[in-house]
Amino acid sequence: MYLDNAMPKMTKETMQFVTEEQRDLLFENVKKVYEMHVACHELMGHGSGKLFERKKDGSFNFDKSNVKDLLTGSELTTWWEEGETWNNKFGDFSTSIEECRADICGFWLMNFPEVYETFGFTEADREKNYWVSIMS
């Protein structure tokens, strides 16, 4: 993935509403942190949309008796039906909702050691990187 053409062209002179110390922190870290956030946003955010579905013949593309809701531990009660798409379920808001979902995934995943270590960061960098990502 090549991000230089998509990354905001941030210079110290164009940064507003931050202290000089914050400006230095942003300028020194924005590129590497942006790469980590965009990877999480694109690969996991957009890449995790349509996971569970009931097929035309009534069967599922997952083992319904063994796959559990990660938050409640109970069996799944919702899934995509045959022919449903993101656009026909969410209509005019589908693109906005999808981008919001992907961004939330990006921000959330940046806090996991497996993710930030993959990008060469340590636990000591986590809070700083999160701030830099939100501010950029």
**Alpha helices, H only, 1-136:** 20-39, 86-90, 94-109, 113-118, 126-135
**Locus of tokens 């940046």:** 110
List, for residues 76-125, the tens digit of each pLDDT value. 999 999 999 889 989 999 999 999 999 999 999 998 999 999 999 999 99
Q: How many domains does the chain have?
A: 1
Specify if 9 maps to a domain: no
Query: What token pair was written down for 70?
Result: 């990660």
Side chain identity, residue 10: M
Structural domain including 40 reads 20-48+55-135
Binned at pLDDT 50, 70 and 90, residue 16 comes out as confident
**From 13, 28, 35, 42, active-site residue:** 42
The structure's pTM equals: 0.75
Specify if 8 maps to a domain: no
Specify if 76 maps to a domain: yes
Specify if 90 maps to a domain: yes
CB-based contact 17:54 (threshold 8 Å): no
Specify if 88 maps to a domain: yes
Active site residue 42: yes
If we measure between CA atoms, which residue out of 49, 44, 52 comes closest to residue 110?
Answer: 44
Query: What token pair was written down for 135?
Result: 């501010």
Specify if 5 maps to a domain: no
